[in-house]
Structure 1
């Protein structure tokens, strides 16, 4: 039996030390620049609303919707990196600052996400993997995939997600980020107990979203908050789906990140929508989760130089790979 490849087989001790160096400066820039892009998107819509005709304003709004949804995904990836203590060098910044600036605004919770996600790393592609339900049904037919994309863009997936989050905060569902719903029996808990659960669990989301709305209101454009909500329930679920497909769908059920995880090539459109802060380097992340996002591209280059990973496909190529090709039968003579 072949020996399992380890990190020490792929990198020197000095390379491992260099690759795993986290930085408070890089983490701060990642969070600040993400919110800066969101602010610019809001500002562009506000300006277009005041000065451009309706048709031009509609184009700007659509563009801003895509940008904001992409940055909402970026906030989720920043939370993901902080869950591994790789976003910042300082532990407090990973645990508390990222929770309030990245997780809570998108109705998430770093303290609940961290143990959930670390189990995904420990059991990737195995039965115990909590994220297995996101990708286990691939490959699928083209028609089925189009239906999923249409549900995402129509808001049906987003509304279902919001309902799930509400039930999780009521503690009527187990906390999760996938579609494997596990009810918690109500038992003899009173309505007041459920309301207290909701207040306790939703407080951070409500507070951070109230601040976002308040800033927009003070700027004279409170209606722009609708863009935040609309982005969250339309493009955002689509971007999450494509990202999940690219990372683990259609791959081996193995114990090796080299075969159960996929790195994907990302151009500037992909980086804006589905692959923020180098999350497309997913083999690299699963090989060594402590590597901060700013070092993943260098890690990938080293692995390619050593023929440890293949040339990555694009996101379009991944989607094509995960669609079942229709069979054609030759007519009988």
Structure 2
């Protein structure tokens, strides 16, 4: 099986230039986890005090639920803390489990994606291969996300299929891959969410769990997860042969970082070039790589709207998906 093409740091940087990107800190990742939960807590409080803000709070919380998944991804690379035990504890119990994932299941799956990025063995290839699609097709997918259909399939149908011994991930649906990380963590997910519900009951706002935690997870979270997946790898010409084009970086303005792409997840081309660089150093790595002649080969989109237009440029030919 051919692995994805790679470069070495020495191909671009002197040892002195590369040194800042190698260091990790024990405390930065925990602060990011605390920030993510802090934003969620503030949005829940705002929604409880001013119910008119609930639609906005749903978008903020759903994006931070994606943020938890992103920080789980960081932990899968050992980048959440230089202390491995703290890295794995935070990545699993504070990031993965609350949104229904499992760090232990996700890590080998995701590292296989890096090893075979955009090759036929890439387990994530199913996410990017169908694109471009038509506008109508993308619109239907997003409607399924925002109406809870994607959530129901991921969190109910796929785990049930797993309990019945059926290999749910053999389907070609572009969200079935999530059975790898959601279908194996049902009990911890239910336990943690029961604790969140109990907290709301004790606080006298039991309804907040459903309106300001479960609703974002069932609607906004699947949609921005889809947009993230599209932006990272879809429609990047030469992605299977050029390490500088294995993924796309998307320039994100403040509102895109707030509602679509938290915690520097938009710097995905740099992440695939050097996957062990911590996420908070990716903006500096982006500038350093782009300053080299080779960096001009990278796929850099001006924003997520541009990516959506590119990924939905195919003419409508049939009502399928």
- TM-score if structure 2 supplies the norm length? 0.87
Aligned-partner Cα distance in 2 for 1:321–1:261: 15
Of 26-35 and 92-101, deviating more is 92-101
Aligned-partner Cα distance in 2 for 1:257–1:273: 29
Aligned-partner Cα distance in 1 for 2:243–2:217: 31
Structure having the higher Rg:
1
Equivalent residue number for residue 45 of structure 1: 47
Aligned-partner Cα distance in 1 for 2:233–2:284: 22
Equivalent residue number for residue 319 of structure 2: none
**Cα shift at 1:164:** 4.3
Would you say the 8 A contact 1:70–1:272 is kept in 2? yes
Would you say the 8 A contact 1:45–1:64 is kept in 2? yes
Find the residue that maps to 1:124 and give its secondary structure: coil
Alignment gaps of 5+ in structure 1: 49-56, 184-197, 328-333
Find the residue that maps to 1:113 and give its secondary structure: helix
Deviations 1:19-51 (A, max 9, x none): 122212111110001001111111111112xxx
Would you say the 8 A contact 1:38–1:71 is kept in 2? yes
Deviations 1:63-107 (A, max 9, x none): 110011000000000000000001111101121222000100001
Equivalent residue number for residue 147 of structure 1: 140
Alignment gaps of 5+ in structure 2: 317-321
Aligned-partner Cα distance in 2 for 1:122–1:171: 31
Would you say the 8 A contact 1:173–1:182 is kept in 2? no
CA 1:182–1:71: 2 relative to 1, 3 Å: closer
Would you say the 8 A contact 1:82–1:98 is kept in 2? yes
Aligned-partner Cα distance in 2 for 1:163–1:29: 32
Among candidates 85, 96, 108, match of residue 92 of structure 1: 85
CA 1:106–1:255: 2 relative to 1, 3 Å: same
Among candidates 72, 78, 83, match of residue 76 of structure 2: 83
Equivalent residue number for residue 276 of structure 1: 262
Equivalent residue number for residue 52 of structure 1: none
Equivalent residue number for residue 116 of structure 1: 109
Among candidates 257, 262, 286, match of residue 248 of structure 2: 262
Find the residue that maps to 1:129 and give its secondary structure: coil
- TM-score if structure 1 supplies the norm length? 0.84
Find the residue that maps to 1:18 and give its secondary structure: helix
Deviations 1:104-163 (A, max 9, x none): 000100000000000000011111111111111000111111111111111111111112
